[in-house]
Amino acid sequence: MNLQHLKYAVEVARLGSINKASDVLFVGQPNLSRAIKDLEAHLGITIFDRSAKGMVPTPEGEDFLQYARGILRQVDEVEAIYRVGVPTKRRFSISVPRASYISEAFAQFSRSLDDDPAELFYMETNSSTAISNILQADYRLGIIRYADNHERNFAAMLDEKGLDHELVAEFHYMLLMSRKSPLASASEISFSDLLPHIEVAHADPFVPSIPAVSTRKSEIPAAPTRRIYVFERGSQFDILSENPDTFMWVSPVPQKLLDRYGLIQRWCPDNSGLHRDVLIRRKEYKFTDLDSTFIAKLFEAKRTYLDSIQRS
């Protein structure tokens, strides 16, 4: 196995086609196809499923490609450091839960950048992927979210995987809905009040090493018969704003975001469970200047937008 073969596999995965990748790589199609087969034989896995629709990574292939992309990024960084006349490009990467106070911190962090070359990677995802990104995909930082009753499971798992963990925030989930919602004027909202309405939920709340069924019960306490699953925050705000019959469980949302989308958030006494957001990194990893700047913005946003909401 060599770096060229890693580049071949990553490019085939990106384009989904041997033909397209051969044009971009300036490699003959037969040679590229043979190189991929040799790589699979060397590793003892099938990286791609081959079909009329193109080259689709297998589950094993996806794992391998994560490693390959991380290796190629590190090679690029080493070359940039030692290449004469090329300024070193700083890199920041983090995987986070979908939370308005965290995205606000990242936005403020991006405003603090100077003119030096830099690449920033910001991924909104679930706890399992955030952990995997650090262990396998060369992400430097992560923030994971879990219910407090899973604290012991997570602490043991993170220690076993060699990951340091630091508490960022503790909070209760709030109900987010349109100001035109039938529930907007209710003085108190219960689980039963929510049943006739449509829940908007993130499609991947599950946490690693804990059965999905028990996790769903802790993450999504109400049980309406209608749900809309989304994968990113932008669409959730559009849906909640345009459909007064929808609601969502969220970490506290800043008032300026509520005003922007015509939304309100309400406390539900039935959902009294505590949740935690925790910063993770490899134990041997040392914070860079970019990391430290982001973390400062993160705790500033937490104090400004999250703590103040929970006190009110």
Cβ-in-10-Å burial (0-12, 13-18, 19+) of 54 comes to middle
pLDDT score at 273: 85
Beta-carbon contacts of residue 63 (< 8 Å; ≥ 6 apart) = 136
Ramachandran assignment for 138, one of left (phi > 0), alpha (psi -120 to 50 degrees), beta (any other)? left
Yes or no: say if 169 and 277 are a contact pair by the CB < 8 Å rule. Answer: yes
CA dist 49 and 216 (Å) reads 32
* Rounded CA separation 262/149 (Å): 34
Distance from first CA to last CA of the chain, Å, rounded? 59
pLDDT of 203 reads 74
The span from the CA of 227 to the CA of 223, in Å, is 9
Please count the CA atoms within 13 angstroms of the CA of 95 that sit on its side-chain side: 21
For 23-45, the pLDDT digits (tens) are 888 888 888 999 999 899 999 99
Residues 6+ apart with CB under 8 A from 175: 183, 189, 194, 247, 248, 249, 265, 266, 267, 268
pLDDT of residue 138: 82
Positions in the chain short of pLDDT 50: 207-218, 220, 311
How far is the CA of 174 from the CAs of 117, 248, 265, 273, 306, in angstroms? 39, 8, 6, 11, 11
Separation CA 190–CA 310 (nearest Å):
19
pLDDT of residue 305: 83
* pTM over cut 0.85: no
- The full DSSP string for 44-74 is TS--EEEETTEEEE-HHHHHHHHHHHHHHHH
The domains of the chain, with CATH numbers, are 3-82 (1.10.10.10), 90-170+276-311 (3.40.190.10), 172-272 (3.40.190.10)
Cα–Cα distance for residue pair 6/71, rounded to 1 Å = 9
Distance CA 59, CA 46 (A): 9
